[in-house]
Amino acid sequence: MVVVNLSVSEERQELERVIHSPQFRRAPQLQRFLVFICESHFQGAAEQLSEFQVATEAFGRSGDFDPAQDSIVRVQAREARRRLREVTGPCCYSASTPAARRRPPRRSPMSAV
């Protein structure tokens, strides 16, 4: 596996490419999820993310959000991972880490689009 260290600017460009891909273009909730996770990473705050925070800040859920009753974050995370695999390939993203440590998609310059 090739690990590519991208600058924040390059990561932002990659995020834009991903959210405008056919897999994400017509999926506004998935776009919001991915942008929120990536922006948290860019700001160095990804390690502190919680399911509650993603639900309330990215998806507009109320302050009484209960993850036991509403699985939106888990459902969107699962679908985002699936679509990211379609966009970047199975080895070119790191969104399979625990929720609090999700990072934006990374791909090798040699990987196909």
Collapse the DSSP code of 89 into the 3-class scheme (helix H, G, I; strand E, B; otherwise coil) and give the result. coil
Q: What's the Cα-to-Cα distance from 61 to each of 14, 76, 106, rounded to whole Å?
A: 28, 14, 29
Amino acid symbol at 94: S
Give residue 95's pLDDT. Answer: 47
> What are the tokens at 108?
């090798």
pLDDT tens, residue by residue, 9-49? 889 999 999 999 999 999 999 999 999 999 999 999 988 99
Average pLDDT of the chain?
82
Q: What is the mean pLDDT of residues 73-92?
A: 87
Give residue 1's pLDDT. Answer: 53
pLDDT higher than 70, residue 97: no
